[in-house]
Structure 1
């Protein structure tokens, strides 16, 4: 397959998923926070409908471990965390299923290593702004994760200033 002209990165979430669209040639990036129906509409009638576009979905379900508990969590909190993780994974699986059903090129990406300075090792707005030119002034964790997935898939450099 030739190099794609556009890459869509998706960080699935049961409420609003992060959606990042990158034009590979210019490195232009657009970020969206979308509900499941809005995301499917954007994939089928918007950015995803452009030829030579690939979709990359963060696939947490491919990880061997999903242990997010702390020693202070009680049974109720543990169950709530497990429920939330399961809902997010199922949202991601449904996004992949819809992409394949509609003939879009989709890849499942294991979550990238959490080596950043943000909470729980996640990337902060300040860090991602250092290596993605013209990164939007406002972002949330889902859109930053989606942008990082797409940027990494494009093979662009990821480095920060120390």
Structure 2
């Protein structure tokens, strides 16, 4: 079983691929915690591998490139930091559950819904977090 997680401040993208089944949704941090518990109880921790997108692995000076007021830049920094912390907490959750996990450096370009459907053949309506989560595990 492969799980891809695209951390987000509110709800993280969650994609699960197991045999010919795919689950694609968004979950709050505690919904994710509960879902991991359910999966471990059903399949065992040795059958689960988690891929977590970790934006903090990218080195960037985004604040030098952004033009705008200091308030706008501060808000961007706040959300970026919160997103990084969410990814770190999800990794910590994997360690707590003793799950195999891989920190993935975000390198792919974002896919829009049309591109996503063409690649995956999934017709379900998706948001960016769901698409990013599935692309972490698609084809692995």
TM-score normalised according to structure 1 size: 0.78
- Quick check: which one's helix share is greater? 2
- What residue in structure 1 maps to residue 118 of structure 2? 130
Q: 1:10 aligned to 5, 26, 35, which one?
A: 5
Alpha-carbon deviations, 1:55-102, whole Å to 9, x = none? 00001011111516532x210000000000100110110010011111
Partner of 1:40: 33
1:150 aligns with 2:137: yes
Q: Which runs of 5+ in 2 are unaligned?
A: none
Q: Which residue of 86, 104, 118 corresponds with 2:99?
A: 104
Q: 2:51 aligns with which of 43, 50, 56?
A: 56
Q: Does 1:88 align with 2:83?
A: yes
Runs of 4+ residues deviating >6 angstroms: none
Using the size of structure 2 for normalisation, the TM-score is 0.89
TM-fit CA distance, 1:50: 2.2
Higher relative contact order (CA 8 A, sep 6+): 2
Q: Given the superposition, is the C-alpha separation of residues 35 and 78 from structure 1 closer, same or farther in structure 2, using an over 3 Å criterion?
A: same
C-alpha distance in 2 between matches for 1:56 and 1:66: 25
